[in-house]
Amino acid sequence: MAAPVKKRKTSLPKKTVGLAFPVKFPDISMFIVERKIQRARLDHVKNLARRKGFQVSDSLNESVTHIISELETRDQVLEVLRGRLSNDVEASLFLKDAEIVCMGWFTSCMEEGAPVQVTHGHRLKPEVKAVPTVSSSSASKTCYQDAKYCCQRITPLNHHNKKLTDALEVLEKQADFLGGDNNSSRALAFRKASTALKALPKTVRNMREVENLCDLKGGKHCKRVVQEILEEGFSSEVEDIMNDEWFQTVKIFTGVFGCGAATGRKWFDMKLRSLEDVRRCQDINLTTEQKHGLKFYDDINTPVTRHEADVIQQIVAAEAQQILPGTTVTVTGGFSRGKTTGHDVDLLISHPEEGKEEGLLAQILYALHKKDFLEYTDVQNSSYNEAAIRQVKRNQVMDHFERCFSIFRLPKRLIQDRSELNTDQSTVKLGENTLKMSPKDQANTQRPTLAEEGSGDVEDTTNKTQNQDNSDETGNADDRNVRTQSQDAGLLDSKLTPCVDSEATSLNDGVRDWVARRVDLIITPHSQYAYALMGWIGSRMFNRSIRDYANREMNMTLTSHGLFDKTKNALIPAKTQREIFEHLKLQYREPKERNC
């Protein structure tokens, strides 16, 4: 029997920090701030300086003449140094004489092989303090208010701390994917912290600026991640999550229309790792939604542009006007909060005469189907009653409006050639079917101004994937599509349930002449329109916040259907969103300020 092969011993690289080099410049003593410098590079830089004859101190002391840092400002360096100083060492003893310089000075010294003169360009500058404006009205808009509720803050779409909020939202998504009550609470904590940072009017430089924010001061995990990013430029935990196979795979699966986190986890546990694995798996009974989701995965996961949303809105509005003149069709979702792209298109449909909207959805769907605009539909009847507002559950996010979740066939020529879409909205060219609207009808299809009548983000407000998971886990999704057909089903013939290969009728030389887009149509009575519009404005966190505020501070229940005063036991009507804010005694926030 052959003797086992002996493994060769490998010696670890020896640290060279302790090696002695002759000192050529005794009057110079460098201290290199570790922040934003990786350990291997820091060791290399120190050894390089010592080989060149410079003294490099590993601790702060009175002999240090030059403090070198990769940080951007002098104040950031001082913040780091204060944490390193012992009680018996006063910063004033040496900081008044020591130069605080950038890494560029160090590089110049190494290139010259000798100390170079410190210039104005080498010295790190102090942070520029913002000068407050004299006007109290303008100050109220620019000064950050660390309010208890995020609905009281201004939260813009483009904020100053995207690097921090992106990291926190990765943690939030992972917690959502994991599922369960505990992870749901964790996800909410990450979102609250992210929301607080979005509202800050400047870029965060150090933890002292944010550690006491209402939605951050109690979150040790959030603080740890934020601090690491501020110090190192990245979060190792977030990078590990983004590179994790489980996270990447579940993220792909939840991109399938009709697949939520629970289904994504189940598919992963079944050893499935790709969409192709799902398609080939014989053990999965795909719902109708999921079949369409897999088939049109690339289209549905391609962001919808604002132009595409406008095209779809005009197509639906033209049909609605033909059926019921005076109908309003409003693009909702993140578009009204300033977003240029979205996951889907949400259309809020109403009529100024209460009751006229009843039966309208079925007729619109029938008209759209006749012109081959619909690939898939799932109609849900209205389940609204006044008691639903009074007894609404705190975590309930779905409203009770009649609606249709659909996959819309958007003709490519309408999005490639904008000339097909008249900007005055008077004519929508649809091949041989050119629909014209009267000036009065045109007015009813105009989108509300952002200042008054914004819209909502369905992904944020309706939590569709959760409901899709519920149906998937019980195996009733296919039945639901039939069971929830509108009461006007006489108008919805069998063509409204297209088969999976229905796109073949639109193929031109094997290439589809349309793209699949997620479109939801929501019918709301005129009396509930302002509340519905605000509910669909989003964001999800804004809605959660303003509803919590109404309940806790005003003893009222706010939903997308109305505002119920629990003290007076009465519903409070409102014609505009601004009136809703007034009822709640809140300062009005424009839709573009609700990106929590």
Task: Give the residue numbers of the binding site for Mg(2+).
Answer: 344, 346, 520
Binding site, by residue number, is 344, 346, 520
Is there a contact between 320 and 366 (Cβ–Cβ < 8 Å)? no
Strand partners, 263: none
How many other C-beta atoms lie within 10 A of the C-beta of residue 389? 20
Distances in whole angstroms, Cα of residue 261 to Cα of each of 41, 53, 275, 358: 41, 59, 15, 35
Cα–Cα nearest to 584, from 561, 565, 560: 565
Report DSSP state, residue 287.
-
Sequence-distant (6+) residues with CB within 8 A of 577 are 452, 453, 454, 530, 533, 534, 537, 588
Among 488, 523, 496, 316, which residue's Cα sits nearest to residue 402? 523
Residues in the chain: 596
Which of helix, strand or coil describes residue 441? helix
- Strands 433-436 and 427-430, by their bridges, are antiparallel
Q: What single string gives the DSSP state of each residue in 95-164?
A: HTTSEEEEHHHHHHHHHHTS--PPPTTTBPPPPPPPPPPS-HHHHHHHS----SSGGGS-B-SS-S-HHH
Query: Is residue 59 helix, strand or coil?
Result: coil
Full DSSP string of 331-366? EESGGGGT-SEESSEEEEEE-SSTTTTTTHHHHHHH
Residue 480's identity, in one-letter code, is R
Q: 10 Å Cβ neighbour count for 571? A: 17
Read off the amino acid at residue 447: R
Local structure of residue 565 (DSSP, 8 states) = E
Question: Beta partners for 414?
Answer: none
